Structure 1
Amino acid sequence: MNFFSINTLLVHIPLGKQGYDLSWIEAVGTLCGLLCIGLASKEKVINYLFGIINVLLFAVIFYQIQLYSSLLLQIFFLLANVYGWYAWTRQTASQQAELQIRWLGARARTAWLAVSIIAILVMTFFIDTIFGQFARLTVILLNQFGLEAQLPVLQPDAYPFWDACMTILSVVAMIFMTRKWVENWILWVVINLISVAIFTLQGVYAMSIEYMILTLIAINGVRLWSSKAAQNNGPHTS
C-alpha cells in the first residue's frame, strides 16, 4: 500500500451527490491537525509534533493535486511549528515570563489589524498574480530537486476576498500562537467559519465537517486561554 498516494482509499464517505473518497494520507493528516489544535488549546508543547506531521502530509497532498500555492503556505507553517516548539520549550526566566498566555495590548492589536487589512486588500486584488508567482517559484524549487514538476493551468480564484482572508489570517494566527497571544484563537474561529462556508459552497462536505470541528476546538481555545490569561494577571503586550 502506498500510504502517501491520494489514490490509496481508506473509506468512501456518502456525502453530497457523489460522496467523498477519503485517502489514508488525508485521514492521518487531518487527525494530526485536529490533535495539534486540540493540544495547543490546552497549552501542550507536543501539539507542534502533530502540527509538523500535519503540514508535511498536506504538503504531499497539495503537490499531488497541483495546488502549489497551498504547498508553499505549508512551508511557512512548517517553519512556524518548528519555531513555536523552540519558543515554547526554551528554558530561560525571561522567555518563560514573555511566553505566558496573555492578550495583545491596544497598540499592538491596532498595528496587527492595520497590517492584516492592508495585506488582505492587496492579496484580494492581486491574488491570481501572487499565487501564479508562488506556483512558478514552487515548481522551480521542486525541479531543483529533480522532481520534474510542471506548472498547472491556474484558473481564476473563485472567492478572492475570502481566500485572501483565510491566507493572511492563517499566517497571523500562527504567529500569534507561537507567542501565546489569546487572539490567535479568535482568528482561528473566523478562519474556520469562512472555510466551512466556502467548502460547503464548493460541495466539499467532508472538509466542511472537519472545519466545523476545528471551529468548536478554537472556541474552546478562546475560553481556556482567556481564563489562563486572567490567572496570569500580566500586562497586555503593547
Structure 2
Amino acid sequence: MQEYIQQNWLEDLGILTTLICVWLNTRQNIWGWFWAIVSSGIYGVIYWQFKLYSDMELQVVFIILSIYGWYQWLFGGKEKTELAVTTMPSKFWLACTIIFVAFTVASGYMHGRYSDASLPYIDSSLTAISLIAQWMMARKYVENWILWISADFFYTGMYCYKGLYGTGVLYLLLSALAIKGYLDWKKSQAINHGFSA
C-alpha cells in the first residue's frame, strides 16, 4: 500500500510538471526547459519502477536535450539571438528516419533479449520518435508537434495497458496540447515570415 501511494504521488507530480513544461513550450516560454528537466527526473524514476527501460533512458537524454534547447532558444538564432520558429530543412528527414529505424531495432532487441523490459519494441519506437521530436523542438522546427501528437497518442495506450492510468490521461492531454502547440507555432512562423518579407 505504501509503495502504491508513493508511486501515485510521484506520478501526480510528474503529471503536473509535464503539463507545466508543455504548456510553456507551446507558448515558446524559455522556462519550459526548466520544467522539462524536473519532469524528466521524476519520470525517470517512475519508468524504472515499471520496467520501461527505454523510457527511463529517454528521460536522461531529455535532460541533456533540455539544456541544449534552453541554450538554443536563447542564442540559436543569427548572431546568437533568440531562435525563431522555422520549418525543418528537408535534408534532415532521411537522417531522422534512419535514426528512428536503427534505434527501434537495436534498443528493442537489446531490451527484449537482455532485460525484463515490458513491450520492448513499442517502447523503443516511441522513445525514438520522442528523441527526434525533442531535438526538433530544441531547434524550433514546427514539425516537432506533429511527431508529438503521434507519439502521445500511442503513449496513451501503452501507459493505460501498463496500469499507469494517470500518465495515460496525461498523454491524452499532451496530444491536445501538441495540437495547440502546432497551431500556435504555425502562427508564429507566419508572423516571422511576414516580418522578414
TM-score normalised by the shorter chain: which range applies? 0.7 to 0.9
- 2:154 equivalent to 1:158: no
Match of 1:103 in 2: 87
Match of 2:62 in 1: 77
- 2:23 equivalent to 1:61: no
- The amino acid of 2:28's aligned partner reads E
Instruction: Check conservation: 2:22, 2:32, Cα contact below 8 A.
Output: yes
> Could you list the runs of 5+ residues in structure 1 that have no partner in the other structure?
1-5, 11-21, 136-152
| Distance across 2 between alignment mates of 1:46 and 1:194 | 27
| Distance across 1 between alignment mates of 2:120 and 2:16 | 27
| Distance across 1 between alignment mates of 2:10 and 2:158 | 23
Instruction: Check conservation: 1:120, 1:164, Cα contact below 8 A.
Output: no
Q: CA deviation at 1:29?
A: 1.6
Computing the radius of gyration over CA atoms, which structure comes out larger, 1 or 2? 1
Q: CA deviation at 1:87?
A: 1.9
Q: CA deviation at 1:59?
A: 1.9
Match of 1:195 among 155, 177, 188: 155
Q: CA deviation at 1:163?
A: 3.0
Task: Extract structure 1 runs of 4+ deviating beyond 6 A.
Answer: none
**More helix by percentage:** 2
Instruction: Check conservation: 1:188, 1:215, Cα contact below 8 A.
Output: yes
Match of 1:174 in 2: 134
Number of residue-to-residue matches in the alignment = 194
Match of 2:5 among 5, 9, 16: 9
| Distance across 1 between alignment mates of 2:105 and 2:34 | 36
Q: CA deviation at 1:66?
A: 4.6
| Distance across 2 between alignment mates of 1:8 and 1:194 | 25
| Distance across 2 between alignment mates of 1:9 and 1:79 | 30
TM-score by length of 1: 0.70
- 2:23 equivalent to 1:38: yes
Are the structure 2 counterparts of residues 164 and 68 from structure 1 closer, same or farther at C-alpha, using a change threshold of 3 Å? closer
> Could you list the runs of 5+ residues in structure 2 that have no partner in the other structure?
none
Instruction: Check conservation: 2:65, 2:134, Cα contact below 8 A.
Output: yes
Compute the RMSD of aligned alpha carbons: 2.8
SS class of match (1:35)? helix
Are the structure 2 counterparts of residues 26 and 205 from structure 1 closer, same or farther at C-alpha, using a change threshold of 3 Å? closer
Percent of residue pairs identical: 27
| Distance across 1 between alignment mates of 2:56 and 2:74 | 27
